[in-house]
Structure 1
């Protein structure tokens, strides 16, 4: 499952606080509007202002920002977890800090529960996901803009909490998948495939691990930690008719360490085709394989002191298995953990810029 740092990151206590420098009045909290990429959000619990910060229901805002979301309750501890690609956010209810990729961020207003809904600080949460946030005091309106793209891409989120017979939480399963706007058969096919992948992820987690989770809980009792399963995604590029998306797969089943992997797909929306690496690294197959080999042998020589002839031979047998995606200005190639290197090396990754690789197609320089 996705290369994700430990999912402690996205537990943002359930309400977002707007942490701008401007201070909002504590009165007249009604009718605060929140607009994300031009669409106004509808809340079942209205946003409020506390300590000059706007707080909003966590699920609605995180889902609008393309996150896989889960709410976790363990005794007196309650927290919100949000995952967007490799970005993890966690916020504990009542705490004046949230954690983003392992780094604590101080909040002016903590996440809290209001009318049965968890509220989180809006600006802090949005900016942790690299969104731009603007406050219009006269209109009492928050405008949030994510990174602009050529095509509009929205998300569908789902989360489930699996419980033991006594009601204890034993597993959390959360997914989010992309939905590309459009009515062509090509777009519909892409969207249906991402939906099916998310549904399969949930089904597999339940089929393969829920019974194990129940047995482990019976054996360990209060020492048991709920299993975690998260599928999220990141849009790597969305420009000039090209979309590149990476899915992140994460699972923590209380083994020696969590498991993660990722998978990427790149689409030429104009020509309605899914691109292969040879479409980007133009040339003959032999030249492509040599480019991959040279790039990763150099990576391994630099990062793996134990590199030997066997490891080099293993790489040579997996040149056609390399995964890749496009950013706005580079080609990124990678292997998942264990494919060509020990787990300790994580996800071996090589980035290639057009100026450093004559074979690189002009997809990156339009």
Structure 2
């Protein structure tokens, strides 16, 4: 969660420049959208407070509940949680990290107002202050890909009920075969999860499985995208089942995909093990977590050793600033000890994953052509989403009449769909003898995918 701290200084500088203003004089935009508050922002001691629900939802956060008696608000975004208490000058992140607030949350005209700076900071947003327009401009990190949340459900009413809700991601591929394969796997896994749950449910029916009360048989599967930028996508899927007993069973898995090399990464591939002792780094962090609740040195050592032995079966996922390694319940310790985790922050000395802004390479296409005939390829339809170069390369031979090639170079500059058209003709003729049409898609991180090529 140290990513939550990184913008604090910039926000302090930005918002400290806001002097005490009348209510309503400050506008707030998030990702270019002007927020329409039911009550205007409040400026207190040079800090901006805004209505709670509007800013949380604009930043992609779900308001889970409002405890009126305790005057506490709890919100969630992915695996990040935020809780604030009205009138207190601290905000709690993920249940354990406290951030001091310059001004506390407050209630005004029956509305809950929270400090804009702290909340934006906690959700990893970039903030700028436009003094001329008296506007706070917030840019929340957007994923590089459009990802649709798909759902498969199954419900049976019987001696005891069965209900399954399985969510899975569908990544807009725009012709990328590797992403198509990822989508197929997640859809297949979703169907298999329900099929396996149904098989067990039917076995229970056949064996006249019963208790003193009716047991709802449930399966809930959901996912979070923890990384989607610079050519990497990290997806965490959580599974929860209840089939009777003292508690539900839960587990999760993490998968990380390298879209630069079109492959799924293993934990060992993320690190440079020539300069980093991965096994002991994970085991020591796990042991430290166990030592927080147990003083049994033999047990701590046992968990430490088990973490090393089972390192190749450990789950992991990437976030903006760390690799999060985890062992699921029962894997190396008892169920009661829950998920045992190790957070390893990025360091260029031992990390193989390059999370700096990635400069996607140009797409290069060679098109045969012969200038000696008077014909030339020309770009007749351009796109503002692309930086395009079209150059003629002379043949290496000096033989008269020999043709060369045109080199078409394409690089993304703005996200969106892009279509270009080339024509092969002589200057004095209106109609070309040949045309080429290319359709591209430029991702948010400016990676370019060829969707279609048409020659006529």
Tell me the TM-score normalized by structure 2.
0.45
Whether contact under 8 Å (2:236, 2:252) holds in the other structure is yes
Q: What RMSD in Å do the two structures reach over aligned CA positions?
A: 5.3
- Structure 2 residue matching 1:348: 3-state secondary structure: strand
Q: Which residue of 2 aligns with 1:349?
A: 342
Greater fraction of residues in strand: 2
Equivalent position to 1:265, from 230, 242, 255:
255
1:86-101 to 2 correspondence within 5 Å?
86-93=79-86, 97-100=90-93, 101=95
What residue in structure 2 maps to residue 57 of structure 1?
A: 51
Structure 2: how far apart are the matches of 1:362 and 1:95? 40
Count of residues in correspondence between the two structures: 283
Higher fraction of helix: 1
Shift of 1:94: 5.3
CA distance in 2, matches of 1:140, 1:355: 43
Tell me the equivalent position of 1:244.
234
Question: What secondary structure is seen at the aligned counterpart in 2 of 1:306?
Answer: helix
1:67 aligns with 2:61: yes
Q: Are 2:103 and 1:111 aligned?
A: no
Residues 232, 132 of structure 1: alpha-carbon distance in 2 compared, 3 angstrom cutoff: farther
Deviation at 1:20, TM superposition (A): 2.3
Q: Equivalent residue for 1:43?
A: 36
Cα pair distance change 1:77/1:318, threshold 3 Å: same
User: Paired residue for 2:24?
Assistant: 29
Pairwise CA distance, 1:80? 1.9
Give the TM-score normalised by structure 1.
0.54
Give the direction of change, closer, same or farther, for the CA distance of 1:247–1:119 in structure 2 (3 Å limit): farther
Q: Which residue of 1 aligns with 2:72?
A: 79
8 Å contact from structure 1 (residues 334, 349) kept in 2: yes
Q: 1:249–1:84: structure 2 CA closer, same or farther, 3 Å change rule?
A: farther
The equivalent of 1:145 in structure 2 is: 139
Confirm whether residue 336 of structure 1 aligns to residue 328 of structure 2.
yes
Cα contact 2:271–2:353 (8 A) shared by 1: no
Tell me the distance in 2 between the aligned counterparts of 1:177 and 1:118: 34
C-alpha separation between the residues in 1 aligned to 2:264 and 2:355? 16
User: Which runs of 5 or more residues in structure 1 are unaligned?
Assistant: 5-16, 157-175, 205-214, 216-228, 251-255, 284-290
**In 2: Cα distance, 1:145 partner to 1:353 partner:** 26
Separation in structure 2 between the aligned mates of residue 264 and residue 134 of structure 1, nearest angstrom: 34
Deviates more, 1:291-300 or 1:317-326: 291-300
Q: Contact 1:97 / 1:110 at 8 angstroms: preserved in 2?
A: no
Aligned to 1:169: none
Q: Shift of the alpha carbon at 1:81?
A: 0.9
2-structure distance, mates of 1:97, 1:301: 30
Deviation at 1:263, TM superposition (A): 3.8
